[in-house]
Amino acid sequence: MTDFYPCLFDRVNATPVDPHYFYQAAWAFRRILTRVPQRHVDIGSDVRFVGMLSQAVALTFVDIRPLRMELPGLDCRVGTLLALPYQAETVQSMSCLHVIEHVGLGRYGDPLDPQGSIKAAEELRRVLAPGGQLYVSAPVGRERVCFNGHRIFSVRGLLEMFSGLTLIEFSYVDDQGRLNLDASIDSANHEDYGCGLFAFEKARKPDHRKEGLP
């Protein structure tokens, strides 16, 4: 009886999949590898995405809950999205997928804070280097808080949280589980629980030496 392992619900017509996590991983993976960063930093994303990406590019994974796995190319650190272990403007390539909507709700042991997601966005902006890329995903649609699971943002509301960065792409997964690439920022307004995929870049600081200025 110790080997008795009944499986009763696997005879389905299609492979079960969460379209948010399936599409966001593929979307971010392609864009990160296109840039070929020397090192990528991921904050709290799905560990399957992190493990696979670490085999293509050197990766540091930061999460409030320790990831006790060892893998070549993967460096795991404990940290919080409210106080990342990086100095300002030092991270050239960074991702944070399906994470910021949880910050401040206490779900993962973090302190309750109604402004948690806003502070998390500020911290991501702080550490991103000039010319660096940031890949963010979060639930989008009818704006609300589903305590203590997650928040759902309007697209324009999330863009306001990341003001100061340049949006270089917006795509999203809709309520029917379809991927909509290079979408307009208002095209997801009718969604109830979509997944917004945002690629941001921080502007480079002007080089006054090239302008002949002191």
For helices 19-35 and 47-54, the axis angle rounded to 10 degrees is 30
Cα angle for residues 58, 59, 65 (degrees, 5° grid) = 155
Query: From CA 60, how far away is CA 148, in angstroms rounded?
Result: 28
> What pLDDT is attached to residue 124?
98
| Segments making up each domain of the chain, as ranges | 19-195
> What pLDDT is attached to residue 213?
55
The answer to whether the beta carbons of residues 193 and 146 sit under 8 Å apart is: no
Structure tokens at 200: 């941001």
> What pLDDT is attached to residue 140?
98
Enter the CATH code of domain 19-195: 3.40.50.150
| Per-residue exposure over 107-142, b if at least 16 CB sit within 10 Å of its own CB, e if not | eeebeeeeebbbbbbebbbebbbeebbbbbbbbbbe
Q: Which pTM value belongs to this model?
A: 0.93
Q: Give the E-state strand segments of the chain in sequence order.
A: 40-43, 59-63, 74-78, 91-97, 128-140, 144-146, 150-152, 166-173, 179-180, 194-201
Query: Which parts of the chain register pLDDT below 50?
Result: 214
Beta bridge mates, 83: 80
> What pLDDT is attached to residue 3?
93
29: alpha, beta or left, given left = phi > 0 and alpha = psi -120 to 50? alpha
> What pLDDT is attached to residue 211?
58
